[in-house]
Structure formats: C-alpha cells, structure tokens
C-alpha cells in the first residue's frame, strides 16, 4: 500500500514540476536552457523563469570539485623498459564552458581519464619514467588540453603508484 502511495505522490510531484514556470539552480550548479530541444542559453546559479509544459528544459551539472581514479596502466618507455602507473585527478567544471560540457560531451570521466593517461604515459615515457621531475609538466599539459577542449579545470594530478622495470605480461607461451 505504501508503494502505491509513494508512486501517486511521485506522479503528483512530477506533474507540478512539469507545470512550474521557473527553476532554481543551486550555488554549485550551472546549466543550459533548451527550448523545443534547441540550445538557447546558459544558466548560472539562481532563479530562472521558463516556459512550462516542457517547452523549456533545464539541464544542469555540478561545478563542485570531483575526483576520478585512473585505471592502472602499463606502458613502455622510450628506453624499452616497462612501467606501471596509477593516478587520480581532482577536477571541476568551469561554468563559462557549460554549453560545451553538457551538449558536446557524453561522458566526462571517460574523456578526462583517456586524456590524463595519454599525457602521463607520454611524459613518463620520454622522461625515463621519473615522475618527480615530470609532475609539473604533466599537470600543465593536462590542464591546457582539457580546459581548452572541454572547460574542465584540473586542480591536481596525483600519481599514487609508479613501478619501474616490470616484466611485460605474456599472453601466449612460446
């Protein structure tokens, strides 16, 4: 019986939300307004009027600090040695790029992960695998690439594990 009551209450809530002529974005959010499915403006935190009946739809995204763990990755350095690296990234969205972020980007964690791993592996591969000297270069390159392309501000790239000289995995025995 309580499931039925909850379903009816949710239906009533959704109906009134459908009719509401306004929306409110919280302090940590930014968004875009779509009218009949077409982009027509950015939304910053605060109160915003909209046409009801889903003529105007707000899509919002948090701009608060978030973290992503990068999967362990093995790579071969320029000198032929094999290394293993683990890292995590602290990032947030720049509200000025909200349109690009919401409309053009499907999965920000996947894109950020791929770009970060590419930069880390390329930099460590060139620098003989020593990440102490390469950390600043890695952060600057990642920040420049993801900020320019997607409006993501990388606060910190932290390499949590770096193992040099591992043996490559052999899938087939000779």
Between 131-150 and 108-126, two packed helices, what is the crossing angle to 10 degrees?
Answer: 140
For the chain, the farthest-separated pair of C-alpha atoms sits apart, in whole angstroms, at 70
Q: For the segment 14-26, what is each residue's pLDDT rounded down to a tens digit?
A: 887 777 888 899 9
Q: Count CA within 13 A, CB hemisphere, residue 41.
A: 10
- How far CA 53 is from CA of 37, 64, 82, in Å, comes to 13, 30, 58
Distance CA 141, CA 115 (A): 10
Q: For the segment 44-86, what is each residue's pLDDT rounded down to a tens digit?
A: 999 999 988 878 989 999 999 999 998 888 887 777 777 888 8
Q: For the segment 104-124, what is each residue's pLDDT rounded down to a tens digit?
A: 888 888 889 999 988 888 888
Domains of the chain by start residue, with CATH: 2-62 (no CATH), 66-166 (3.30.479.30)
């Amino acid at each position: 019986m309580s499931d039925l009551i909850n379903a009816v209450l949710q239906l009533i809530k959704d109906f009134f939300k459908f009719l509401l002529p306004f929306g409110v974005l919280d302090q940590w959010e930014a968004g875009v307004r779509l009218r009949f499915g077409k982009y027509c403006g950015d939304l910053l935190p605060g109160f915003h009027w909209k046409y009801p009946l889903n003529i105007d739809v707000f899509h919002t995204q948090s701009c608060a600090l978030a973290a992503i763990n990068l999967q362990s990755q093995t790579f071969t350095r320029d000198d032929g040695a094999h290394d293993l690296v683990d890292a995590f990234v602290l990032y947030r969205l720049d509200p000025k790029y909200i349109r690009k972020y919401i409309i053009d980007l499907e999965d920000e964690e996947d894109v950020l992960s791929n770009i970060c791993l590419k930069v880390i592996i390329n930099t460590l591969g060139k620098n003989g695998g020593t990440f102490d000297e390469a950390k600043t270069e890695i952060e600057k390159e990642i920040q420049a690439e993801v900020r320019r392309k997607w409006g993501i501000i990388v606060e910190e790239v932290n390499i949590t594990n770096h193992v040099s000289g591992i043996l490559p995995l052999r899938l087939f025995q000779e």
